[in-house]
Structure 1
Amino acid sequence: MLSQVLQKTSEILSTLPKAETDHFLASRTLPYPVQKQLEKFLEKGEAILAKAAGYSIVGKRALALITDRDLYSNTSILKSLSFTGIRGGLTAVVLELFEDIRFFTEKIHTPCIDYDPRKPLTSYVNKALEYSEASELPFILRIPLYSPAHAETETEHVERVSPRPYFNKHWLRPYRWNIIASRTLPKCIEDHKRNIKVLEELCEELELNQLEEKDPKKVAIVSASCSREAPEDETTLILAFMNPLPKKTIEELTAKAEKITIVDSGRLYLKEKIRLDKATVKKVEKKYEKTCGGCPFPYLLYAIAKALDEINEVGVVCTDTNCHVITLST
């Protein structure tokens, strides 16, 4: 069977249209037939987040791994959950490929944490789940593609909490999961305000946000994903909480500072929200390309999958998380 697959794979690779492969080499995007064939190996982000929302509603912890485009297609789910609340922790780990998602999370009233690539990703996931449970709100963990995750060790793991799942349509408030009722009933409005207040207190904590004290007259405010670009000789506030921002902490640090530096990426969210005229802004540019031109791996995966189809064999194609897989998921 293996020899048949290899022979078929070779034949299929040799028949790929030259025009499309040339286009791929020039534009660094995958040929259409390759994209369509590989799509079946990837579950849509909308389905992933919908399932995670269902788990969190019945009291289970849930983690969804999606891209920024998947996030935009799930606006209604996240916006609804911000009013109905959730019973279990829900964190959407969003790989940011194209657009700065922080402005968007603010519009849909969803808390957003920026990932610090110097730290273990599991610690951020665990804290985001805890914060989500404390505030009864879904959380978004932003991971720009140019900030690769810190390598895990054997002692690091995502904490599993497994309460018995059950659905109660009137849990702690009447018509809990009715979206319209959750935005109009006095009890629902009161609960929503309480959740926001809890969130505002959490964002001031110096656990994910990190303060490195040096020269108090020189202050740098750095988004967590840009932590590697932080100035070495200045008092540095590494901000993980993006929405909401820890305004009290920022005001206290900048009140007496003579020099203020803002280090950020994307659409310079921190510059827009902090609005300090005397601040110097340093933008960290993205250092990646969507797909490396000439990469043979997508073609190979496409050809193997098609070969398995043609010889009527049920096969499973396993891949590692290369950049083309990330690209295809969008």
Structure 2
Amino acid sequence: MGKSEIITEDSPGKRALLMGNEAIARGAIEAGLKLAAAYPGTPSSEILETLAEAAPKLGFYVEWSANEKVAFEVAAGAAISGVRSMTSMKNAGLNWVMDMFMTLVYSGVRGGFLIVVADDPDAHYSSNEQDTRFAAFYGEIPCLEPADAQEAKDMARYAFELSEKLELPVFLRSVTRISHASGDVELGKIERLERKPVFDRHWKMPWRWNVYGPPGAVKKHEWLHSKMPMIKEIIEQLPWNRLEISEGQKFGVIASGIGASYAIDAIKLLGLEGKVAFLKIGTPSPLPEKLVSKLLKGVETVLVVEEGEPLVELLVKALAKDANPNVRILGKLTGEMPQVGEINIDVVAKAISRITGREISVDPQIEKIREEIKSLVVPRSSTLCAGCPHLGTYWALKRALAAFGGKVPIVNGDIGCYEQGGYGIAGKEYKPSFSTESVRYKIEAPYETLDTNYIMGGGVGLMQGEYHAGYSDGSIVAVAGDSTFFHACLPAVVNAVYNKSKGLFIVMDNSWTAMTGHQPNPVTGITATGNETKVLCIEDVAKALGVEFVKVVDPFDLKATQSAIEEGLKSDKFAIVITRRICTLQAIRLKQYTGKKMSLDKDICTGCKLCVSLGCPAITFNVEENKAGIDPIVCVGCGICAQVCPVNAIKAGE
């Protein structure tokens, strides 16, 4: 049985191995979900992907929205009309919705509204480690935090019921090790709610859905505050908040979310079961204050274990003032737990070991094996795929900047596969510079191209600031992808035209939201559920926004791409160059690719390594022979390397 069949199967009590994100999706399905909207973002993407597979079978609506803000508003609109809806996003995606989020809570919702955010401790897939639980605290709504896949499913299901009881959105915070780990999940019954969407602008409150309408925003804020006593009462009774304490125990652990799973295993590892007071928390905001106070009054020392920032620790410290001012509270703020990066069982066990004096039993054989395999592990970063169109774009940009970039050009990056253009993986050592003047660094490989990189849509805005600041040491460039163009770049393009900015904006159009798993977007031509839809052409939109210099090229044609980029660099206006070629992985999957494997003639090769600096994973180099090579298994036959080779040693094979 396939995963989509399991997700849609109405078999209460059946057990299934589900990824955390799949479990969240299943919980929403069990709750009678009517609408789901999201924008792809690792580690959250599989939630909506799972729902998209189930939607045609179960009859609810799913969409990939243009960005998280739109997705949030689509889901909120459904909730206002009385049906159950949800939106899901990664940590950075929440930043896009904060304006609507912080206003929506003033009027609440009618149908259950679940907001799922997948945080990314250790920044595996992200530009930061932000802890989004603070948003729930800030917005004065409940935050649920699962410890495993089963809780992820159960919490997602319950969140809709809680949301409707409170008439407020409910927040579910996952982390990478929940979202992308799989666990044994017991399925529940699928509710089939046949609700008619309704609208009443004065439902239970004058001008309910208009924060500016009477009685006004302040009174509506007062209404939000009035919900907190009910929230706290409900929180105390939830099964995911659980206290185990016995008389005479002097040390206790308070652990939230996945931190609770780590803490339970760490306590077992140290042989301290039954000897340590333990409070498992599934609602970091608000805390179950009665349970926390009971623990604080019964022990002398407490270790707080949580993934992310010290939210629970701060709230526990505040509560301790009244519950037990003499209790010692340890955690991230005191150095017992690391303040950055991920935690795990070993981290928690070491912290408990230091506090209790209980030694960790380590198998010397395991340590020996760890030392032996260290020499076998080769550190490496991710790379662009063999035949990736972005390799052609970056190579052409490198050549164009060498000719027309000025003394020190600036290349502003963005978020997508092409962000690897700033990963700096060229086998060099980079040292800090303290120069007071502009400094040029030679671009040898595509991975050395980007100079700045922060958020989606940020590059084209930074470019304009650099221009209006009067930067004159070189050309100013920004890059972004097709999905990012529609997600976050449109206002900045309008701004560039309106405020007469100058610079080159390169849009790498590969027809898919590739980095997060090849989800469709406005240029793909299909929706989340695979239905055909209108293709939005980036060049048409750019021209409609007033951009006068717009060119479209094929990045597999290096000369044409370089020529278009050079024209853009020399233009006295804001210029957009679109490099269009479908993602090679998708082309192969869809059987649209016709490239021939490349072959290299070693008799002609001079060992100049120019092809190696292209950064294609299919190109190898034999140091002893001083000859390049092509891995026939990896090569897809895009032909870019043949255009790079100065001696024509690379040719298309059979």
TM-score greater than 0.5 by the shorter chain:
yes
Cα 1:226–1:243 shift into 2, 3 Å: same
Aligned to 1:324: none
Aligned to 1:219: 252
Work out the CA distance in 1 between the residues paired with 2:293 and 2:84.
Answer: 35
What 5-or-longer segments of structure 2 have no aligned partner? 1-62, 121-128, 321-326, 345-379, 387-513, 519-582, 594-654
Matched, 1:46 2:81: no
- Which stretch of the first structure deviates more once superposed, 253-262 or 134-143? 253-262
Matched, 1:286 2:342: yes
Cα 1:177–1:295 shift into 2, 3 Å: same
Query: Does the Cα contact within 8 Å between 2:255 and 2:306 map onto a contact in 1?
Result: yes
Matched, 1:109 2:140: yes
Aligned to 2:200: 168
Among 239, 258, 262, the alignment partner of 1:207 is 239
Aligned to 1:151: 183
Aligned to 2:508: none
Query: Does the Cα contact within 8 Å between 2:140 and 2:224 map onto a contact in 1?
Result: no
What 5-or-longer segments of structure 1 have no aligned partner? 1-40, 313-330
Work out the CA distance in 1 between the residues paired with 2:144 and 2:215.
Answer: 25
How do 1:1-330 and structure 2 match up within 5 A?
A: 43=65, 44-97=67-120, 98-117=129-148, 119-148=150-179, 150-151=182-183, 153=185, 155-156=187-188, 159-181=191-213, 184=216, 188=220, 191-213=223-245, 216-230=249-263, 231-232=267-268, 233=273, 234-275=276-317, 278-281=328-331, 282-283=336-337, 285-286=341-342, 293-294=382-383, 296=385, 302-305=583-586
Cα 1:155–1:54 shift into 2, 3 Å: same
Paired-residue identity, %: 23
Work out the CA distance in 2 between the residues paired with 1:99 and 1:186.
Answer: 29
Cα 1:237–1:119 shift into 2, 3 Å: farther
Find the residue that maps to 2:227 and give its secondary structure: helix
Corresponding letter in the other structure for 1:184: G
Query: Does the Cα contact within 8 Å between 1:221 and 1:263 map onto a contact in 2?
Result: yes
Query: Does the Cα contact within 8 Å between 2:235 and 2:286 map onto a contact in 1?
Result: yes
Query: Does the Cα contact within 8 Å between 1:221 and 1:238 map onto a contact in 2?
Result: yes
- CA drift of 1:143 comes to 0.5
Find the residue that maps to 2:130 and give its secondary structure: coil
Query: Does the Cα contact within 8 Å between 1:62 and 1:89 map onto a contact in 2?
Result: yes
Query: Does the Cα contact within 8 Å between 1:265 and 1:283 map onto a contact in 2?
Result: no
Work out the CA distance in 2 between the residues paired with 1:237 and 1:176.
Answer: 39
Report which structure shows greater RCO (CA 8 Å, sep ≥6): 1
TM-score (ref. length: structure 2): 0.37
Aligned-pair Cα RMSD in Å: 3.4
Cα 1:294–1:264 shift into 2, 3 Å: same
Corresponding letter in the other structure for 2:237: E
How many positions carry a matched residue from both structures?
270
- Which stretch of the first structure deviates more once superposed, 128-137 or 180-189? 180-189
- CA drift of 1:83 comes to 0.9
Corresponding letter in the other structure for 1:180: Y
TM-score (ref. length: structure 1): 0.70
Deviation string 1:213-259 (CA, Å, 9 cap, x unpaired) is 45643321101221222234322111111221222221122112123
Find the residue that maps to 1:241 and give its secondary structure: coil
Deviation string 1:44-102 (CA, Å, 9 cap, x unpaired) is 22222111101110111112121111111111222122110110111111111231112
Query: Does the Cα contact within 8 Å between 1:182 and 1:188 map onto a contact in 2?
Result: no
Cα 1:183–1:199 shift into 2, 3 Å: farther
Find the residue that maps to 1:84 and give its secondary structure: coil
Deviation string 1:157-193 (CA, Å, 9 cap, x unpaired) is 6645342111111111211111123773797466434
- Which stretch of the first structure deviates more once superposed, 268-277 or 221-230? 268-277
Point out the structure with max Rg over C-alpha.
2
